[in-house]
Amino acid sequence: MLQGADRGPSGAWTAAAAALSLGVGLASTPLFDPDEPVYAEAGREMLRRGSWLVPYFDGRPWFDKPVLFYALEGWSQRLLGPGALAARLPSVLAAAALAWLLGRAGSRWFGPAAGRWAAWVSVTAAYPAVVGRAAITDSVFVLCLTLAVVGFGELLGAAEAADPPLARARSAVPAGARAALGLALATLTKGPVAAGLVALQLAGCAAAGRTWAPLRRGRVWLAGLAGLALAAPWYAYMVHRFPGRFAAEFLGRQNLARFATPEHAGLPAYYFLALLPVALLPWTAFAPLLVRRPAAAPGGRAGCGPRTYLWVWVAVVVAFFSLSATKLPTYVLPAVPAVSLLLGEGLARAGRRWRAAAWLAGAATAAGLAVAASCVAPAFVCYYSAASRAAELRQAGPQERICAYKGGLPGVLYYTGRRAETLADPAAVRRALAAPEPLWLLVRPRHAPELAAELRALRKLPGPSGPRGEGLLLYRTPAKAEPR
């Protein structure tokens, strides 16, 4: 199981855990509404158009996120064909690459055993693994941002403890390249938030080390400017191609407005502080290993040492997104790689019982995720995916309207080629019923009581049921439901 008491899980065991937690059952369930089908469809439309710079959704330019993840979706579907496996593959590969990156970084910063444990934690933390299986941007973004933050940490001299002096000297150029590349790719995945997080990380490290001298190094600035320069051409192209529209939609509504205006009201400021321990399960039980005074900067000089640098990383992510008015659970994920490295260092110096428990916890979580993905998740597909009614909806004629009560079902477009119109309230449903066009109406079970009167005018088509009862409900205009 373990390659010696002080070496951590072997690469083979970590790869097996990654295969279980990330790879099993990827195609067992169709894409979950509302997020996965949007990214998959935008990638497919880029592929159809041969447009690898401008994302499209439903035939229109799509400014929700930058181009990188949509392009990855398109290339994956070009290789494997459309479907859940191809749509989720970029995220899975990114999560696996993140474990490899943390293994390398942990080995350089704290020693080989710490690197192996950090990789083990990365692929067996439950919530990051679940997100790593989803066709959404977060897994790719976390990989790219981690590449940047690790590179800048090595440029600052904050994370060199395990490297001999000669290796540190030789690693200066690769560290700068990693920092610039990671910053550019993160900015092309999520947007300017990547540059903001990196800037806050550098400032936080300087403040924690009580010296600004590392930030005056030319290679730090050069790496930052190079990363922004690599990402800038795409933004310049989009501003030129869509004057006014891109800036207003992407920079204005999708970034500034989302930060200033809540999309989901009622979440407290401490939301991410409370969510992080949950996201790290089962590794929250190993929190005592994190309690250790942060090491000073290498060589005894003033500055931010490796563990301090990692704690600053966690604090920056939690504080920044806590200030955001919009709070989504995935926003906490950029802090997880830092905690993985800290836990890796803690497990490398822990006793045998801690390491045995860590091996069992990781193996059990990976196996549990595999069982859930292959056996449990398919049972709930009727609740979360429009794919469960796609076969029926494909029978709709070109003059028939397909509508979704309260929206949130972009999977209709991905699986049928037609977008479902949103009907926001019962009055909108009544107006649709009064129109001459035949109507197909999708309704979630929890919303059906709101439409009791309106649904009596429609014919209900039988559909799948799951462990919680009926799945996505489908109704049709009676006159079109009967054969002529």
- For CA atoms 336, 341, 346, 352, give the dihedral sign: positive
Q: What's the pLDDT score for residue 276?
A: 96
Count other C-beta atoms under 10 Å from residue 211's C-beta. 16
Does pLDDT of 149 surpass 70?
yes
Cis check for the bond before 298: say yes or no (omega within 30 of 0). no
Q: What's the pLDDT score for residue 298?
A: 56
- 275 with 88: CB under 8 angstroms? no
Q: What's the pLDDT score for residue 192?
A: 94
Does pLDDT of 446 surpass 80?
yes
Give the mean pLDDT of 256-264.
80
Nearest-CA neighbor of 88 among 72, 102, 100, 101? Answer: 72
d(CA 121, CA 116): 9
Query: Could you report the per-residue pLDDT of 322-346, keeping only the tens digit for each?
Result: 999 889 999 999 999 999 999 999 9
Q: What's the pLDDT score for residue 216?
A: 79
Tokens at 342, concatenated: 């800290």
Which CA distances in Å does 295 have to 64, 299, 344, 416? 41, 11, 15, 57
Q: Which of 68-72, 80-84, 292-296, 388-392 has the weakest average pLDDT?
A: 292-296
d(CA 172, CA 156): 10
Give the mean pLDDT of 191-206.
94
Does pLDDT of 5 surpass 80?
no
Confidence of residue 163 (pLDDT cuts 50, 70, 90): very low
Q: List the 473-476 sheet strands across, edge first.
A: 421-423, 401-405, 439-443, 473-476, 459-461
Q: What's the pLDDT score for residue 173?
A: 57
CA end-to-end span of the chain: 68
Q: How many helices (H) and strands (E) does the chain have?
A: 23, 9
% the chain with pLDDT above 70:
92
Q: How many residues does the chain have?
A: 484
Does pLDDT of 191 surpass 90?
yes
Does pLDDT of 162 surpass 60?
no
Residues facing 365 on adjacent strands: none
Q: What's the pLDDT score for residue 159?
A: 63
Q: What's the pLDDT score for residue 267?
A: 84
pTM: 0.92
Confidence of residue 293 (pLDDT cuts 50, 70, 90): low
Q: Tell me the average pLDDT of the chain.
A: 89
Count other C-beta atoms under 10 Å from residue 273's C-beta. 13
Does pLDDT of 257 surpass 90?
no
